[in-house]
Amino acid sequence: MEPVEIRKGVFYLGAQHWSRRLFDELIPLPEGTSYNAYLVLGREKTALIDTADPALENELMEALERMGVEKIDYVVANHAEQDHSGALPSLLERYPMAKVVTNQRCKELLVDLLHISDDRFYVVGDGDTLSLGGKTLRFILAPWVHWPETMFTYLEEEKILFTCDFLGAHMASNRVYAHRDPLVYFSAKRYYAEIMMPFRQTIPNHLARIEELSPEMIAPSHGLIYDDPSFILEAYRDWTGPEVKNEVLVVYVSMHGSVRAAVEHLTDGLSKNGIPVKVFNLTVTDIGELAMALVDAATVIMATPTVLGGPHPSALYATYLMGVLNPKTKHLAVITSYEWGGRTVEILKGFLDRLKVEILGAIEIKGHPKKGDMEAIDRLVEVVVEKHRSLKAD
């Protein structure tokens, strides 16, 4: 994209990765992504805030050339991950007088990841400022909003907060501003679910610091700029808050139909009792959509056959993912089928130790479900319904 002046002397330089479909060799990107850098022109100094992924660093370099930027004094690194820092070596070669402005922890990581020499750094601490002449950058350390070295940069005169990964969204677009678009909300929620949810317990503290600043614009390094910051701040307060939805996620995989029969009976029973249900067949599920559903569902029921003494690998992966994402789920149950035994229930529970959830039950079915198995599922439905009634009462 062509550089866009978002405030006087402040330019958005967004490298759009339209065709990227996987992030970190893990996260699906149905809408691609962007790597946003921001150029701030002071009367005396020029600063570039964040850079781009090495795959698109040429786009960033070409944008700077088209703008006629002959000198950059500072390159601010809010975060060391290479999709934002990866173009640093090329930039430092192109602008040999530039200093990398970052905190001590981030400096250490950048040295490890990119082998930048010590003399190219300008280290800042929490609350430190840097004057560009008429434009002042303030640095706000935000550890464990994502990585341990993450920080924000606040442009005081223009009230723009540059948050790097935090509050971002994986989406490529030829637009610049979010404008409270529901599609942006959807992408931002998916991004939160896949990347930020493991840190949901520390995020409210960072939200409070941001609200104290009262920024007029929030400019992340993925996705669109929030010209109305309350749009994304309200969403994050909701996603990280303690409230859950009256909703059950049924996550399953079935090899020969036994688990599927149990799941169909379960979902029928829940539906007859008015409980909203979302069903995810792990054979075809987009793992990002499952992560989104985990953001605020009250109950998760995992159903899997036993394979070589343990859970089906797809169920094991989904359970591990749930454990590391650490959603605010309140209740959990397990349904498994087996023929000659195994440790499926024990193994799945072990992956969920860090979650503060109430285990509502574990149903182990030998072979295809029989009448007694279906009755056990009916009893589980009764337990779930009772738990969800108490949620509605609260």
Which residue would you say has higher pLDDT here, 391 or 29? 29
CB–CB of 335/373 below 8 Å?
no
Q: Where are the beta strands (DSSP E) in the chain?
A: 4-7, 10-17, 22-23, 27-28, 33-41, 46-49, 74-76, 99-102, 121-123, 129-131, 136-141, 151-155, 160-164, 217-220, 245-252, 277-281, 297-307, 310-311, 331-338, 358-366
Mean pLDDT across the stretch 27-49?
A: 97
**Cα separation of 38 and 6, whole Å?**
9
Rounded average pLDDT over 204-208? 97
**pLDDT(311) > 70:** yes
pLDDT exceeds cutoff 60 at 393: no
Return the percentage of the chain with pLDDT > 70, whole number: 99
For the segment 388-394, the average pLDDT, to the nearest whole number, is: 73
Q: Which residues contact 390 (CB under 8 A, 6 or more apart)?
A: none
Residue % of the chain over a pLDDT of 90:
94
pLDDT of 193 higher than 60:
yes
Q: Where is 146: in which H helix or E strand?
A: none
pLDDT at 41 over 60: yes
User: What's at 167, amino acid-wise?
Assistant: L
- Looking at residue 359, its pLDDT comes to 93
Q: Is residue 38 predicted with pLDDT exceeding 80?
A: yes
Q: What is the pLDDT of residue 26?
A: 87
Instruction: Tell me the domain boundaries of the chain.
Output: 4-240, 248-387
- Residue 349 has a pLDDT of 86
Residue 1 has pLDDT above 90, yes or no: no
How much is the pLDDT for 107? 98
Q: What is the pTM of this model?
A: 0.94
d(CA 260, CA 212): 51
What token pair was written down for 237?
Answer: 């307060």
CB 196 within 8 A of CB 166: yes
| Amino acid residing at 212 | E
Count each helix (H run) and each strand (E run) in the chain, helices first: 12, 20
pLDDT tens string 323-367: 999 999 999 999 999 998 889 999 998 888 778 899 999 999 999
- The yes-or-no verdict on residue 392 having pLDDT over 70 is no
Q: Does position 394 have pLDDT exceeding 60, yes or no?
A: no
* pLDDT at residue 182 greater than cutoff 60: yes
Is the pLDDT reported for residue 316 higher than 80? yes
Cβ-Cβ contacts under 8 Å for 219 (sequence gap 6 or more): 6, 12, 36, 38, 160, 161, 162, 163, 225, 226
Q: What is the predicted pLDDT for the residue at 81?
A: 97
pLDDT at 356 (0 to 100): 85
Tens of pLDDT, residues 82-126: 999 999 999 999 999 999 999 999 999 999 999 999 999 999 999
Question: 391 pLDDT band (50/70/90 cuts)?
Answer: confident
As a whole number of angstroms, the distance between CA 355 and CA 369 comes to 29
Q: Report, at the CATH architecture level, how domain 248-387 is classified.
A: 3-Layer(aba) Sandwich (3.40)
Residue 292 pLDDT class (50, 70, 90 cuts)? very high
Tell me the fold of 4-240: Metallo-beta-lactamase; Chain A (3.60.15)
CB 245 within 8 A of CB 298: yes
HSE, CB side, 13 Å, CA atoms: give it for residue 360.
26
